[in-house]
Amino acid sequence: MAPKKLRRARLSQELCERLSRYQITTCQDFLCLSLLDLMKVTGQSYRNVQKLLCKVSLACAPKMQTAYEMKVRRAVNPSSAFLSTSLHGLDKVLHGGVPCGSLTEITSPPGCGKTQFCIMMSVLATLPVSMGGLDGAVIYIDTESAFSAERLVEIAGNRFPAYFDSDEKLFSMTRSIYLYRELTCGSVLKRIKSLEEEIISKKVKLIIIDSVASVVRKEFDTKLQGNLTERSNFLARGASLLKYLAEEFSIPDPAFCLFPKCSLREPA
Amino acid sequence: GQRQLLPLAPALRARLVAAGFQTAQELLDTGPCGLSKEIGISKEEALEALQVVRQECHSDATQTAGAPGTSRKCTALELLEQEQAQGFIITFCSALDNILGGGVQLTKITEICGEPGVGKTQLCMQLAVDVQIPECFGGLAGEAVFIDTEGSFMVDRVVDVATACVQHCQLIAEAHQEEDHLKALETFSLESILSHIYYFRCRDYIELLAQVYLLPDFLSEHSKVRLVVIDGIAFPFRHDFEDLSLRTRLLNGLAQQLIIVANDHKAAVILTNQMTTRIGQSQSTLVPALGESWGHAATVRLIFHWDNNQRLATLYKSPSQKESTIPYHITPHGFRDVQPPAVTQNPEGTELNPRKRPRREEEK
């Protein structure tokens, strides 16, 4: 998602060279300038600058779809719209399960079972589609070292004894779960950024972050004034990266947060 | 330039020559008051003379190419007539329509602020359907542009809302049995409603800037669009911006372009904004995000908030309607009144204390 170079916006070679002398090389640089500045750096009239703005915008703007086209696309593949949680009541309330293509957040006070839920969802994602799974791999970003492989195997074996009837089946499932231990906000962000290629190469169908809050609270003491902006910055950037991945690959993205009984946002 | 004879009365011409005037431009530069003093005629006569001179000069001068558009001026009366004929997009919540003065206004920017989950996107989806209601049912028969920066748009939900809206119109048609109602229902269907919501997913602020630059052309090609929604104006601007002055400048530019779009294409622009915490001396309060200068961008500002389990909408800023608060519901059919519809005033200030909401303790 690096900024697009102006050459790819079909501007003339001459114009690109001229602009690069002012350090304007990407569409981002171009679109952030005011009209007057644009007239100055391009040396062109108001009218022509408007036309150039349209050209560069066309290179950056998203494609239009009608809501009808979106509905048709979803209807084509209804089973892959949700990942069932295997809990009937929860699936009913969620209209099918954890939705694919968007972020789902799970929060609770400590000890309620979030990590257990994550581990179970990991098993479910590796199951074949006929059993309600996604037949894919899982990326599990663990910031608290709470993940237990033994527990994973225990859940799988007890929950689906008919399917995991051999050690081989169990090990094959564990091989599809890729665990990353990240202990700082920076490394979590870095990991998320690197995921795009992994998702394609490993056929990932579920991404779990357990938990976002623990790593944020470690680094950002909200009692200190300046930290609030930096923390929001990190959360917003992480969220938008995850959303991009979720939508691009149509995968469910539960990002788990841990909240204590009092509010995360404490008064100064 | 050329020496021409201006069609002025000979007596007047004699006085002008005697006073030393040689060119038409000189006359124009002097102005009516100066002229009347200098040659001893009344101001009205001087004005008449100058208008004659000006007309002569303009009929000769060649028009310069690419002249900028004339500034729009009109009297307040003309504006009043325009405003009264103005269309509104109804929200299906009569209490909200009432405090807005009829509904969401065309040619104006309306901002909806509120915390996550309170119903901003729900209202946007409702409006994207309502703008399409045929004229015989009291609607605008328009189309909608939906610019989504957070991915909150849910097609399945729009299907629910649109289906309920069509059923509502069908009930009206059955009750009145008028021909134009039945004819309109032939083309007002779920499929047509969905086909006329033009959806753009903008992943970052550059895509958003680009899309807004392209809006005028898009609206010229799709002249029936009467609603532009930007769901999540704050989200792309809340990270990756170390330079806050750049952010302010870009947001101001966006606001200006949207005002032009709203006016030129007679469309309503709806923006949704997040809330942020302002750390005060003794407590922190929730205020709309993007800073104080952004508060000037929208003409009308609504704040959606909770009071225990009840959702409330407060009209916070409007040039013509007074500040009020009403309750609303999100039902399977969409955005609706609380039964029975009630209108309550909010005499206190509008800075909302998040601690008054025991339902949801955690905030980002």
SS (H, E, C) B256-309: HHHHHHHHHCCCEEEEEECEEEEECCCCEEEEECCCCHHHHCCCEEEEEEEECC
A33 contact residues in B (CB cutoff 8 A): none
Where is pLDDT greater, at A102 or A54?
A54
Shortest CA gap A209–chain B (Å): 16
Indicate the SS3 state at residue B338: coil
Inter-chain residue contact A34 with B249, CB threshold 8 Å? yes
- Interchain CB distance below 8 Å, B206 and A31: yes
A24 in Cβ contact with A30 (< 8 Å):
yes
Of the candidate ranges A31-45, A207-221, A222-236, B39-53, the one whose mean pLDDT is the lowest? A222-236
Q: Chain B: nearest CA to A187, how far in angstroms?
A: 17
Chain A nearest C-alpha distance from B346 (Å): 26
Q: Which of residues 164-203 of B touch A (CB under 8 A)?
A: 191, 193-203
Which residues from B are below 8 Å from A231, CB to CB? none
The pLDDT assigned to A255 comes to 58
Q: Could you tell me the two tokens for B3?
A: 């020496």
Q: Percent of chain B beyond pLDDT 90?
A: 45
Q: Yes or no: say if B146 and B229 are a contact pair by the CB < 8 Å rule.
A: yes
Which residues, listed in sequence order, are joined to residue B229 by a DSSP beta bridge?
B146, B270
Q: Which amino acid makes up residue A248?
A: E
Query: What residues of B are in contact with residue A71 (Cβ under 8 Å)?
Result: 155-156, 159, 194
So what's the pLDDT on residue A77?
Answer: 67
Residues B88 and B100: their CA atoms lie apart, in Å, by: 9
Query: Which of the four pLDDT bands, split at 50, 70 and 90, describes residue A234?
Result: confident
| Mean pLDDT calculated for residue range A5-28 | 87
Residue B283 binned pLDDT confidence (cut-offs 50, 70, 90): confident
Handedness of CA B17, B18, B19, B20 (dihedral sign): positive
The Cα–Cα gap between A160 and B221 comes to 57
**Single-letter amino acid code for the residue at A21:** R
What pLDDT score was predicted for residue A66?
95
Task: Output the CA torsion sign for B137, B140, B143, B148.
Answer: negative
Q: Please enumerate in sequence order all residues whose Cβ is within 8 A of that of A169, keeping only pairs 6 or more positions apart, or say none.
A: A163
Can you tell me the mean pLDDT for B149-165? Answer: 92
Contacts of B158 in chain A (CB under 8 A): 67
Inter-chain CB proximity B209 and A265 less than 8 Å: no
Alpha-carbon Rg for chain A, nearest whole angstrom, is: 23
- Distance CA(A131)–CA(A145), nearest Å, equals 30
Question: Does residue A267 have a pLDDT over 60?
Answer: no
Of A31, A246, A257, the CB nearest to B210: A31
The per-residue pLDDT for B160 is 94
3-state secondary structure of B64: coil
The pLDDT assigned to B359 comes to 42
Torsion of CA B68, B74, B76, B78, to 10 degrees: -120
Give the Cα separation of A16 and B227 in Å (integer): 37
B340 preceded by cis ω (within 30°)?
yes
Q: Is the pLDDT of residue A126 over 60?
A: yes
State the Cα–Cα distance between residues B293 and B251, nearest whole angstrom. Answer: 9
Residues of B in contact with A233 (CB under 8 A): 238-240
Quote the tokens at residue A130. Answer: 């006929």
Q: Is the pLDDT of residue B302 over 70?
A: yes
CB A222 within 8 Å of CB A267:
no
> In A, which residues are within 8 Å of B364 by CB distance?
232, 235, 264-265
Name the one residue in this structure whose structure tokens are 């303009």: B58
Q: Map tokens 């959606």 to a residue.
A: B304
Q: What pLDDT score does A225 carry?
A: 63
Q: Which positions in chain A touch B231 (Cβ < 8 Å)?
A: none
Q: What does the buried/exposed string (b/e) look like for B282-295 if buried means 16 or more CB atoms within 10 Å of the residue's CB? A: eebbbbbbbeeebb
CA distance A232 to B290: 13
Close Cβ partners of B69 (under 8 Å, ≥ 6 residues apart): none
The Cα B227–Cα B129 span in angstroms is 10
User: For residue B3, what pLDDT is reported?
Assistant: 54
More confident: B156 or A95: B156
Cα-based torsion angle of the residue sequence A113, A114, A115, A118 in order, rounded to the nearest 10 degrees: 120
Q: Distance between CA atoms of A160 and B352, rounded to whole angstroms?
A: 50
Best residue in A106, A240, A256 for a mutation probing chain B (most B CBs within 10 Å): A240
Touching check for B20 and chain A: CB below 8 Å? no
CA dist., res. A155 & res. B192, Å (int) = 48
> Is B69 an interface residue toward A (CB < 8 Å)?
no
**B155–A66: do the CB atoms touch at under 8 Å?**
no
CB-based contact B214 A102, cutoff 8 Å: no
Residue type, A107: T
Beta strands in A169-252 (DSSP E): 177-181, 204-210
Contact assessment for residue B160 and residue B334, using Cβ atoms and an 8 Å cutoff: yes
Amino acid code (one letter) for A125: A
What residues of A are in contact with residue B69 (Cβ under 8 Å)? none
For an interface test with B, the pick among A35, A50, A64, A95 (most B C-beta atoms closer than 10 Å) comes out as: A64
Q: What is the pTM of this model?
A: 0.76
| CA–CA gap between residue A239 and residue A105 (Å, rounded) | 11
Collect all residues of chain A within an 8 Å Cβ-Cβ radius of residue B214. 54, 57-58, 61
Q: Which two tokens stand for residue B298?
A: 């929208």
Best of A49, A233, A265, A266 to disrupt the B interface (most B CBs within 10 Å) is A265
Q: What is the tens place of the pLDDT at every residue in A173-228? A: 999 999 999 888 888 888 988 888 888 888 888 999 988 887 877 777 666 666 77
Output the pLDDT for position B4. Answer: 61
Say which DSSP state A26 is in.
B
pLDDT at B70: 46
Rounded to whole angstroms, how far apart are CA atoms A204 and A136? 6
pLDDT at A124 over 70: yes
| Mean pLDDT, all residues of chain B | 84
B363 has a chain A CB within 8 A of its CB:
yes
Residue B261 has what pLDDT?
A: 95
Q: Which residues of A touch B196 (CB under 8 A)?
A: 66
A60 to B202: CB separation less than 8 angstroms, yes or no: no
Distance, in Å, from the CA atom of B122 to the CA atom of B158, rounded to the nearest integer, reads 9
Cβ–Cβ gap B203/A107 under 8 Å: no
Which residues in A169-229 belong to E strands, given as ranges?
177-181, 204-210
What backbone torsions phi and psi does residue B300 show, to the nearest 5 degrees?
-120, 135
Given a contact cutoff of 8 angstroms between Cβ atoms, the answer to whether B226 and B88 are in contact is no
Looking up tokens 């499932």, which residue turns up? A173
Closest Cα in chain A, distance from residue B197 (Å): 5
Closest Cα of chain B to A59: distance in Å? 8
CB contact under 8 A, B204 and A34: no
- Six token digits for residue A72: 């048709």
Q: A64-95, pLDDT tens digit by residue?
A: 999 999 999 877 766 567 888 889 999 888 87
Of A91, A191, A100, A81, the C-alpha closest to A139 is: A191
Contact pairs from chain A to chain B, CB under 8 Å: 135
Region B217-235 average pLDDT? 95
B300 close to B109: Cβ distance less than 8 angstroms: yes
Residues of chain B with Cβ-Cβ distance to A78 below 8 Å are none
Of B203, B239, B362, the CB nearest to A244: B203
Q: Does any CB of chain A come closer than 8 Å to the CB of residue B207?
A: yes
Express the helix, strand and coil content of chain B in percent, nearest 5 each: 45, 20, 35
The contacts of residue A93 (CB under 8 Å, 6+ apart) are none
Strand order, beta sheet including A137-142 = A103-106, A253-256, A204-210, A137-142, A177-181
What interhelical angle do A227-249 and A185-202 show, nearest 10? 0
Residue B80, pLDDT above cutoff 90: no
Angle, alpha carbons A169-A171-A176 (nearest 5°): 100
**What is the three-class DSSP state of B223?**
coil
Residue B49 tokens read as: 């003379």
Mutate to test the interface with B, among A4, A5, A31, A244 (most CBs of B within 10 A): A31
Of A63, A67, A234, the CB nearest to B197: A67
Residue B73 predicted with pLDDT over 80:
no
Pairwise CB contact (< 8 Å): A243 & B150 = yes
Chain CA centroid to CA B308, Å:
32
Percentage helix, strand, coil for chain A under 3-state DSSP, each rounded to 5: 55, 15, 35
Higher local confidence (pLDDT), B248 or A224 = B248
